Amino acid sequence: MAMLTYLNFDVLFAIASHIKTRRSLLSLALTCRTFRDIVIPTFLFECLDLVDGAVEPELIQRVCHRIAADGPAAGVAVRHLAISGSYLEQHDVLPHMQNIQSVFMRLYGMDPLSRPRILTEVSTKINLRHLELHHCCASSLELLRGLRGLHTLALGLSPPLYDVTRESALGNILLNSRDTLTSLTLGPCIWSLDVPSADPADDADLIWPRVQHLNIYATPVDEECPFNLTRCFPSARSFNLVRTQRTWLAREYNRPFVSRLTSLQGAWEDVKYVKDAGANLRNATITERLNKDYNPNEYLSSSLECLNLTLERNSPQEYLGQVAFTCPKMKYLSLSVQVYGMSNFLERLDAAVRFLPGLPLECLCIEWVEYISDNDYPLINEELKGCTKKLAELVSQLLPSLRVLSMEWQDGGVHQQRADDASQFQQISAEDGRDLVDYYKQQWMSV
């Protein structure tokens, strides 16, 4: 460590920048005073995920209090903030975050008198590039009118159904960011932007050429003329599909949009439709359970490398074998398993993974979705931890390419990693585990 302290600031800064998890950053800060001064607050406060449920309320209060007390010294380090709006009512920290680039906020439960102050402050952030708001209403969007240059926009809109027109605040934001936006999530809403105007020249700007990830839960204002996805989003490769949008994709002018997709979230019929349209999907999230009504050979594409599935309680075991046969390139697999009782879960899990040898899997995620009562939780929690250990021993032999094994259940989970030159898995922290899972998943969601 003495040798490290002789390195200049830029080199030490570069070393710290490669460490992403909070636990690892804290460990680095404890090694010596030099790294402590670099890590705190520059890196430790760079990404603040302070969402209820993921972080203890006491910790959220302490972090907000620290930023409010230190002012710009801590606030300027923040680049990403995820928080429930109610905490911003208690701690006026946003004015100190002049360099913030990404905001995720839940507006539900906020005092109506505090909301204008907080959202107005968000609208003043000139470096803001990524914005995600939940429980957002029309009056809230008016406070954000004029935002421009966004790269990511995700809005969960509250009733009544919002009408996206040129004159609306949301329409203004979308048009202001049409040359920079790469990811768009909206809903539910009425999409009126694509209604032809009296002057055709006015319609020329209704194109978002850089949008690659699209998730719009919208109703066209004219059902006879659903909007042209091929024209509006020529670069889109990832799409989240709901049943009400199937009529959009069935239109001939949207056929090129469908055939270019590489990532899809939708029902089994949607995946088959996209496959039959000629799309080479790399990533698919199936929103329906795998059961005897769906033959994977007919619905899945051989180009898939990332797949998210839910196994029904009575799903035939051999179906997973058909999935493996149909998708020989699969490197990421996520299974949500629905069964009654611990013994049935272990039995199904053992049988399921024995269908996977031969796949080049690098990441395997398994979730047990059954509810666990408070009385049963301590015992079942320990049994599941033991199950994960046995599973790691099994897959270490069956799946030599596997690097990450993750098993999660209600309020618990175990994450394990295997180095390239190691034969056995080692348990890692939940934070490191989730980061690794996201890393592997995002590889095949990218365009």
Read off the pLDDT of residues 377-418 as tens digits, 9 standing for 90 and up: 777 778 788 888 888 888 888 899 999 999 988 778 899 999
All residues at 6 or more sequence positions from 5 whose CB lies less than 8 Å from its CB, including other chains:
32, 34
Whole-number pLDDT of residue 160: 87
Q: How confident is the model at residue 183 (pLDDT cuts 50, 70, 90)?
A: very high
Q: Which residue has the higher pLDDT, 170 or 438?
A: 170
Whole-number pLDDT of residue 321: 85
Q: What mean pLDDT is predicted for residues 279-306?
A: 89
- For residue 357, give both structure tokens: 């040898």
Q: Which residue has the higher pLDDT, 295 or 404?
A: 404
pLDDT surpassing 80 at residue 280: yes
Q: Which residue has the higher pLDDT, 428 or 53?
A: 428
Whole-number pLDDT of residue 212: 95
Query: Could you tell me the residue ranges of all domains in the chain?
Result: 270-447
pLDDT surpassing 70 at residue 314: no
pLDDT surpassing 80 at residue 282: yes
Q: Please give the angle made by the CA atoms of 257, 260 and 263, to the nearest 5 degrees.
A: 105
Whole-number pLDDT of residue 236: 95
**Comparing 116-125, 215-224, 272-281, 300-309, which segment has the lowest mean pLDDT?**
215-224
Q: How confident is the model at residue 71 (pLDDT cuts 50, 70, 90)?
A: low
pLDDT surpassing 90 at residue 211: yes
Read off the pTM: 0.84
Q: What mean pLDDT is predicted for residues 331-347?
A: 77
Q: Which residue has the higher pLDDT, 196 or 306?
A: 306
Whole-number pLDDT of residue 306: 95
Whole-number pLDDT of residue 59: 72
pLDDT surpassing 80 at residue 12: no
Closest CA to 361 of 386, 396, 413, 409: 396
Q: What is the mean pLDDT of the chain?
A: 82
Q: What mean pLDDT is predicted for residues 25-51?
A: 71
pLDDT surpassing 80 at residue 341: no
pLDDT surpassing 70 at residue 329: yes
pLDDT surpassing 80 at residue 204: no
Q: What type of residue is 370?
A: E
Q: How confident is the model at residue 176 (pLDDT cuts 50, 70, 90)?
A: very high
How far is the C-alpha of 103 from the C-alpha of 32, rounded, in Å?
Answer: 32
Give the C-alpha distances (Å, rounded to integers) separating 424 from 10, 55, 233, 403, 434.
Answer: 37, 31, 46, 10, 20
Give the DSSP H or E segment for 445. Answer: helix 430-445
Read off the pLDDT of residues 80-113 as tens digits, 9 standing for 90 and up: 888 877 777 777 788 888 889 999 988 877 777 7
pLDDT surpassing 70 at residue 430: yes
The three-class DSSP label of residue 187 is: strand
Read off the pLDDT of residues 349-380 as tens digits, 9 standing for 90 and up: 777 788 888 899 999 999 887 766 777 777 77
Closest CA to 43 of 30, 60, 65, 26: 26
Q: How confident is the model at residue 436 (pLDDT cuts 50, 70, 90)?
A: confident
